[in-house]
Amino acid sequence: MSFAATLSRTIVTVPRLVLRHRGFDLTVERANDGSDGYGFAISHRGLTLHASPAEFRTPQSAERSGRVFIDDALSGFDYATRPTDA
């Protein structure tokens, strides 16, 4: 059995997975309404900054989308706060 297959099966069986990405907590959760969807939430210091609807078919796609969301937000912040050359 490959590592990816083991990891995939482990993530699927976890109803609520909390990861860290670039200083933020990234939580991947199964839908509460009994559907097969997954969503993600981003929090920092106990405050939820963003929560997605449970519209992802796999926990891996929800996690990937959450990581991309964080990366995009931080790159936008970096661009907005970068000093401009005069």
**Does the residue 62 lie in any domain?**
yes
What's the pTM value of the predicted model, to 2 decimals? 0.69
Residue 29 lies in a domain: yes
Instruction: Pick 62 or 84 by higher pLDDT.
Output: 62
Q: Is residue 49 part of a domain?
A: yes
Q: How many domains does the chain have?
A: 1
pLDDT at position 78: 73
26 class by beta-carbon count within 10 Å (0-12 exposed, 13-18 middle, 19+ buried): buried
What pLDDT is recorded for position 31? 87
In a domain, 86, yes or no: no
The residue ranking higher by pLDDT, 36 or 84, is: 36
Q: Which domain holds residue 33?
A: 3-81
Domain membership flag for residue 30? yes
Structure confidence by residue, pLDDT tens digits, 42-60: 999 999 999 999 999 998 9
Task: Output the pLDDT for position 74.
Answer: 86
